[in-house]
Structure 1
């Protein structure tokens, strides 16, 4: 992976000030999943808490501060004293010692942009969010070429080897009937492990316009709930932060918002174990790293933290004064 210098990263994140972003929910979401708005608000709440925590660094809890340093500054929970297994797993990337304030500012600004997102009407939305892909269908053979091209074929008939129906399944063209997008291969939600389909938009909605689909059919029905409604039932002696990431929907939607062009971040790795393999510079542009800290900031408000005795595996612990 390419490593960027701190000053270059600073330039990437702060080239200009941006107006607040907007998103709009399609009726496939509002009709079938009316509570989805609460999920999005919880995702934005994570971003708000992360921003406030970083901006008040000196007042941040030690546990959350250690989490930030572990994710973004490549410092361990035990001040660099690691067992042999940890040494093998963690990245040899640079530990940040000279510019922690700059890194904190970068992370804070990303979260602030997420918190600033506003829901709007469909016509005005920068991000269009669908909750299924029923709008897609495989392109019919007679739709592939218009008359200007077809007339050059013998008898105006598309040769057999060029017909969409004769291509391999992953090479066939599909069309989004509502938006007119073409896609090679089945739409992304057809893959059972995919949680978001991401489709680049035309410039009609500005430079950050994009259409994303939450693959609702790929998300277990029993796991569509808010974090703060379920944590009362958690047994933290056996729960890791990766369990929370995989079983709650708001971190998934925080990930989805960070996928959009406004942030220009990358999908390098996700989850607690994966974060240990990144250098500090890589963590700054990795979506999964930001989701982790957003979730830690939210859990911090609920008095739930990474258990420093078992930090390598990301186990959680509940503490009360």
Structure 2
């Protein structure tokens, strides 16, 4: 049987094993191969300053744009590109209706590219990461992405700008959120978010209470706070009782080491988290052990608080350290 008579799924499998240059050559041999090669060539795209022409192709050819499953574009300052390019980018994003993963990194002033055509939808989009903060343009896009499960928005905007509200019922499947405390308070309540990574803003007791309004139990929380209050930890353990991984760092400067009562109060709060597996608070790792042979409850205690002490480990050869880079604690989720 010749290639011309192969079923589409087998032809796609053949194309899967070809390099881009070979796919380009195959596309020139016959119309049937042209479409099969296109599906593979445009399935996963990463765009930067070296291959911007790809954006024009996707804007002018909706049929090609529908082949794209994952698209990442990383471009620099807005002033280095003409506004016409961003108009083509907005059109390309509107055309890529079959996306499952999208990453857009650009100047905040270009967030209007996310205001895609009213007739565009993204029913298969599962992951979206953006350098834009949650303004009206980004909210317009997110309102069309009901299948979204993982969302990352830019936390770095100074001064803080107001976040836009999403429509009622938007993002019903969202489980992972990375962004600022401000955006989190807008997005998390009422949605089934279980993994929260706050990469800017201050985690306070009020913020913790707001995040606890997620419609699913929060199992991973990583955040920073200006506090060193035991009350904050008690609030977390009270309103997020299904936590599995907890990482709270603080910008507070300890002039003196906390006393034993301070650590005992935190340890007592942690015992109310039956599912907790790993914990870091104020830069200290907390470890647990069983209460007794017959009691499966856990007792938590911190490593010695000594800022000048460095454990005798070679981090470059410690496999555990390397594993941590890919754990649920990583901000690059």
What TM-score bracket applies, with the shorter chain setting the length?
A: under 0.3
Pick 1 or 2: higher relative contact order, CA cutoff 8 A, min separation 6: 1
Which structure: larger Rg? 2
* Structure with greater strand percent: 2
TM-score w.r.t. length of structure 2:
0.22
